[in-house]
A and B are shown apart, each in its own frame.
Chain A
Amino acid sequence: AQSVSQHNHHVILSEAASLELGCNYSYGGTVNLFWYVQYPGQHLQLLLKYFSGDPLVKGIKGFEAEFIKSKFSFNLRKPSVQWSDTAEYFCAVVGRDDKIIFGKGTRLHILP
């Protein structure tokens, strides 16, 4: 079955630290990849997406993600996190049956 694995369920960082959240997917066909974010008390929103082209994708709020086909990975990065980045982050892929499959999420907590 197709799946998305997020390796870190809970990450705690201090402000200004660098962030990398891991995401691996199992689907081997044409991939459409996403990172969604849910800030406390808010709804899920799209952070960035990859459909084709440059494998380094830039999203909102200084986030970026790199699609590495050989590693089936789409890791999320930010060079310097802020307290306001505290949120839950979900990696997702469009599966073979054209449905979006989400990972279990990573809770990120930034210490002020």
Chain B
Amino acid sequence: GAGVSQSPRYKVTKRGQDVALRCDPISGHVSLYWYRQALGQGPEFLTYFNYEAQQDKSGLPNDRFSAERPEGSISTLTIQRTEQRDSAMYRCASSSGTSRYEQYFGPGTRLTVT
């Protein structure tokens, strides 16, 4: 596709369940980023990949959060044992190797933990 896609667009889950959020970046983009955006806040960095290598995961809030990009394209952000405080918009972005600060965002996944 032409842009970054994310699925699902909306996810409602019960506390304690695991969720997996998917991001499909722009074809050929080297870098992929995950952000979390709480209501009334701007996006906050979670982690990023260059190709399949996770370069920085310092923004992941705790060890319930993990991400992978095994083949250097699609990425999955997994949240285990979800808690209500995990409710947020999860955004994915990708950028080319030549301009990593010009990030193209997907539509986001709105996660609600009940």
Interface residue B105 (Cβ < 8 Å from any Cβ of A): yes
A4 near B45 (CB under 8 angstroms)?
A: no
B42 near A90 (CB under 8 angstroms)?
A: yes
Complex Cα distance A103/B42, Å?
Answer: 5
B106 near A43 (CB under 8 angstroms)?
A: yes
B101 near A94 (CB under 8 angstroms)?
A: yes
Complex Cα distance A27/B4, Å?
Answer: 29
Pick the interface stretch among A44-52, A56-64, A78-86.
A44-52
Residues of A within 8 A of B58 (CB): 97
B91 near A44 (CB under 8 angstroms)?
A: yes
CB distance from A60 to the nearest CB of B (A): 13
Interface residue B25 (Cβ < 8 Å from any Cβ of A): no
Complex Cα distance A100/B45, Å?
Answer: 7
A102 near B105 (CB under 8 angstroms)?
A: no
Residues of A within 8 A of B93 (CB): 44
B101 near A49 (CB under 8 angstroms)?
A: yes
